[in-house]
Amino acid sequence: TFSSNAPIGDSAPTSSAYATGVLQQSGNVAIYPEADPGKDIYPVDTSRTYQPAATVLEASRIEKAKATGLVVTCEFPHATPADFSAHHYNRGNYEAIAPQIAYQNLDVMFGGGTGILTDDMRKHFHNNGTTLIEDDKQALMNYSGKGKVWALFGEKALPYDLDRNPDEVPSLAEMTEKALEILSKQENGFFLMVEGSQVDWAAHANDPVGIITEFLAFDEAVGKVMDFARSNGETAVVVLADHGNGGFTIGSSRCKGYDKLSLAELFSTVSQCKLTASGIEAVLVNTPREKLKDEFKKYTGIDLTDEEVEILLSSKNYKAGDYTQVKNSNNMLNNIVNILNSRMCFGFTTGGHTGEEVLLSAYHPFGDVPRGHLRNLDVNEYLVEVSGLTIPLQELSDRIFAKHTDVFAGMRYTIDSSDPDFPVLKVKKGRNSLEIKAFSSVGKLNGKPFDIGSVVVYIDKNHTFYLPQDLAKKL
């Protein structure tokens, strides 16, 4: 699960490698990386630096006319969903990533992020017939159309599975089952990426309750996929992580006589928890001092000591802004995690990512599954194969992500940066004019909108638009 220049990967380059077959650096979302001399694990082609790298999802739609979908519990422009549907050197630049996902014209997008939608995205959904569902579980469950549909819950991410209100927020399994129902109606097949997004977040926090319950929620979603695949007979399934996190173990230095502990002794405490550490924090920050012990026991079965009560009361009354740093902060969430772990037999090595190999499972109706010890790039090769793709992804990248200076060589063009976040490429040839806005898939020819066929990416570091080679033919 390594990145281009480091054995331990960030989420963006690790799932990008699965999606594109290109090794990338921390923060990179489906893009060719910069060289890092002395650190690069494999040689980096610097002639391609910053060029968007076509993904299996994009190739499935463009080459095979397959339906495409993403189902996650994070906000929709987060690293993993972005890796399959957007392109940028900085995973945190949602202003550039979110519109690309909207203009990717996905058939299904289920996850979080109502607060990230812009007026322009909503207008595009209206124009291309996408049904937009916001914070309405019943509307999603009752949806029976054949058109494109987005369903988002929460301004950013969904709650942890254990913390969610099941009447208002769907589980990952419910969203996955609905996505399969919708996508399976498409005659050319589909490509669907499902992510159990927040097991990673719980691992960053060293929260054993969150890790276990999020993994179980993901396992339930995998069950829905396997039920479909076995009955469908034409569907391949690949299940894996993009990296390790936390060094989570069953057993720790706190648990003496570990080899004599029964199943109940190992897991009874965690089994009593009714909320994750994050969910407990949400309760405790609004709980008076005198009720703190009772509330904590209500949701965990744990009797707090007076010292632990004082620790909770003295902790910062908010979550860490960066979920990857929770383990290292003195906030209430971290203090709750420490209390939980003091009563359980689980261990952690870090609050960050880890570099061990990850589990790979696969299903194929005819038994054609990958075996052995594989690299992340080998996984991409398998995804390309089972998707029936024949055009190499690098060739597709050159076709749909060519530099504007090459595509419109010999023509008059300017870049209008009056809106620095969304510059517009303007090209003229004779009486014809072309306008292309960054991070969109809709252009204007002589003032009339048209579908470009793929998203156009602008990279500010080299002031370059990346777009289809054949666009010049329109002028």
Could you report the per-residue pLDDT of 63-93, keeping only the tens digit for each? 999 999 999 999 999 999 999 999 999 999 9
Show the tokens assigned to 444: 């204007």
What share of the chain in percent tops pLDDT 70?
Answer: 97
3-class secondary structure, 385: helix
- Predicted confidence (pLDDT) at residue 327 exceeds the cutoff of 70: no
Average of per-residue pLDDT across 393-399:
99
> What's the confidence (pLDDT) of residue 320?
45
- Predicted confidence (pLDDT) at residue 148 exceeds the cutoff of 70: yes
> What's the confidence (pLDDT) of residue 326?
55
Per-residue pLDDT of 417-462, as tens digits, reads: 999 999 999 999 999 999 999 999 999 999 999 999 999 999 999 9
Q: Which domains does the chain have, with CATH numbers?
A: 11-247+353-396 (3.40.720.10), 253-347 (no CATH), 401-474 (3.30.457.10)
Report the range of poorest mean pLDDT among 15-29, 314-328, 346-360.
Answer: 314-328
Per-residue pLDDT of 205-249, as tens digits, reads: 999 999 999 999 999 999 999 999 999 999 999 999 999 999 999
Average of per-residue pLDDT across 311-338:
72
Residue 302, CA atoms < 13 Å, CB-side half-sphere: 27
pLDDT band at residue 131 using 50, 70 and 90 as cut-offs: very high
Average of per-residue pLDDT across 372-392:
97
> What's the confidence (pLDDT) of residue 285?
87
Per residue, the 3-state secondary structure of the chain, as one string, reads CCCCCCCCCCHHHHHHHHHHCCCCCCCCECECCCCCCCCCCCCCCHHHCCCECCCHHHHHHHHHCCEEEEEEEEECCCHHHHHHHCCECCCCCHHHHHHHHHHCCCCEEEEECHHHCCHHHHHHHHHHCCEEEECCHHHHHHCCCCCCEEEECCCCCCCCCCCCCCCCCCCHHHHHHHHHHHHCCCCCCEEEEECCCCHHHHHHCCCHHHHHHHHHHHHHHHHHHHHHHHHHCCCCEEEECCCEECCCEECCCCCCCHHHCCHHHHHHHHHHCCCCHHHHHHHHCCCCHHHHHHHHHHHHCCCCCHHHHHHHHHCECCCCCCHHHHHHCCEHHHHHHHHHHHCCCEECCCCCEECCCCCEEEECCCCCCCCCCCCHHHHHHHHHHHCCCCCCHHHHHHHHCEEHHHHCCCCEEEEECCCCCCCEEEEEECCEEEEEECCCCEEEECCEEEECCCCCEEECCCCEEEECHHHHHHC
- Name the residue type at position 257: G
Per-residue pLDDT of 168-181, as tens digits, reads: 999 999 999 999 99
Q: Assign 3-state DSSP to the chain and report helix, strand, coil percentages, each to 5.
A: 40, 15, 45
pLDDT band at residue 405 using 50, 70 and 90 as cut-offs: very high
Q: What angle do CA 461, 87, 176 make, to 5 degrees?
A: 160
- Predicted confidence (pLDDT) at residue 330 exceeds the cutoff of 80: no
- Predicted confidence (pLDDT) at residue 41 exceeds the cutoff of 50: yes
34 and 44 Cβ atoms separated by less than 8 Å: yes
> What's the confidence (pLDDT) of residue 328?
59
Q: Average pLDDT over the chain, rounded to whole?
A: 96
Q: What angle do CA 229, 231, 233 make, to 5 degrees?
A: 65
Report the range of poorest mean pLDDT among 99-103, 110-114, 251-255, 447-451.
Answer: 251-255
> What's the confidence (pLDDT) of residue 361?
97
> What's the confidence (pLDDT) of residue 256?
87
Average of per-residue pLDDT across 301-308:
97
What share of the chain in percent tops pLDDT 90?
Answer: 93
Instruction: Convert 203-217 to b/e letters by CB count within 10 Å (16 or more is b).
Output: bbbbbbbbbbbbbeb
Alpha carbons 205 and 323: distance in angstroms, whole number: 7
> What's the confidence (pLDDT) of residue 382?
98
> What's the confidence (pLDDT) of residue 324?
61
- Predicted confidence (pLDDT) at residue 347 exceeds the cutoff of 90: yes
Single pTM value for the model = 0.95
> What's the confidence (pLDDT) of residue 322?
58
Show the tokens assigned to 12: 């963006």
pLDDT band at residue 319 using 50, 70 and 90 as cut-offs: very low
pLDDT band at residue 286 using 50, 70 and 90 as cut-offs: confident
Average of per-residue pLDDT across 366-379:
96
> What's the confidence (pLDDT) of residue 318?
42
Report the range of poorest mean pLDDT among 39-48, 285-294, 300-309.
Answer: 285-294
